[in-house]
Amino acid sequence: MSENPATEGGPSAAQAGRASLPRNAANWAEKVDRLTVDSGGGLNVAGRRLTGPVQGFGKMWRKTYWIELSPEISPRAVIATWKGHFGEFWPRASRFKGPLTSLSPGDVALLDVSVGGGVRLSTGVFVLYADEESFTLMTPQGHMFAGWITFSAERSGTATVVQAQVLMRANDPLYELAMACGGHRKEDQFWIQTMTALARSLGVAPAAVHTRTVCVDRRRQWGNAGQVWHNSMVRTMMHSVTRTLARKRQPAPGPR
């Protein structure tokens, strides 16, 4: 005769299930099949799947950007500021449309990014993980790269070290070509400007931003070349051209 834990003084099935969850389970987003966007817009985001480095096309890179601040600035204060004002630290040519007060697991934020030459790209990010000392964003299909970015702060020796680390592959052959033709340099400049602005908001200026770039895997994954179908830069340009043509076709207002 088998024993029933619920009647023999042992934990119930529900209690056992809760006990088996990691303590930081609430900091992880729930698994999603496709992204949904609550607010208006969502071009190149709504309905897209998430992509990590495994789903990318190009060489795999690990890029790390970090600054050292006074130990009097706590890691929690840094992350609270970063999450609460994330888009405000971006270069002016790019826009981030996210939650007004913070970034929480499962949030979807929309991006409007300048890629140079007057070309813009509409895409987004998904908040995969967030706690009081770090948060991680993941990219959707069609983004410039497939991967994730982790933002963190921790005490190390006599400083509070603030870091952004990207693990990524270009999402398709077009993006891989763009990265080789100045895209990597532009991305480095983006995060250096962002972290400089963050440090300034915390009362630290000027702050030296250190960088480290490592090619983790030099292979290109040709089996994922078909991701070019979702290329957000191409689709944004097509969307812009279509809207421009539609406006031109509208009849001019007649005389009153």
SS3 4: coil
Q: How confident is the model at residue 224 (pLDDT cuts 50, 70, 90)?
A: very high
Question: What pLDDT score does 12 carry?
Answer: 47
249 belongs to a structural domain? no
8 belongs to a structural domain? no
What whole-number distance in Å separates Cα of residue 149 and Cα of residue 128?
Answer: 10
Question: What pLDDT score does 92 carry?
Answer: 82
Whole-angstrom CA distances from 63 to 67, 112, 185, 214 are 14, 22, 12, 6
Helix (H) or strand (E) holding 235, with range, is helix 232-249
What whole-number distance in Å separates Cα of residue 177 and Cα of residue 190?
Answer: 19
Q: How confident is the model at residue 233 (pLDDT cuts 50, 70, 90)?
A: confident
33 belongs to a structural domain? no
Asked if residue 247 has pLDDT above 90, the reply is: no
Per-residue pLDDT tens over the stretch 152-208: 999 998 999 999 999 999 999 999 999 999 999 999 999 999 999 999 999 998 889
**Cβ neighbours around 49 below 10 Å, total:** 13
SS3 208: coil
132 vs 118, residue with greater confidence: 132
Q: Pick the closest to residue 204 from 70, 66, 64, 77 (CA basis).
A: 70
Question: What pLDDT score does 2 carry?
Answer: 42
What whole-number distance in Å separates Cα of residue 94 and Cα of residue 106?
Answer: 22
30 belongs to a structural domain? no
SS3 43: coil
Strands of 23-177, DSSP E: 50-51, 60-69, 95-97, 108-116, 119-130, 134-140, 145-156, 159-170
Average pLDDT of span 134-150: 95
21 belongs to a structural domain? no
Asked if residue 236 has pLDDT above 90, the reply is: no
Question: What pLDDT score does 93 carry?
Answer: 77
251 belongs to a structural domain? no
233 belongs to a structural domain? yes
In sequence order, the 6+-apart residues with CB closer than 8 A to the CB of 124 are 35, 37, 42, 44, 45, 108, 109, 110, 111, 140, 143
CATH label of the domain that carries residue 85: 3.30.530.20
**Cβ neighbours around 75 below 10 Å, total:** 20
Q: Which domain holds residue 90?
A: 45-240
Q: How many domains does the chain have?
A: 1
Q: How confident is the model at residue 34 (pLDDT cuts 50, 70, 90)?
A: very high
What whole-number distance in Å separates Cα of residue 221 and Cα of residue 204?
Answer: 42
241 vs 112, residue with greater confidence: 112
SS3 139: strand
Cβ contact 117:144 at 8 Å: no
168 belongs to a structural domain? yes
Question: What pLDDT score does 85 carry?
Answer: 92
Asked if residue 8 has pLDDT above 50, the reply is: no
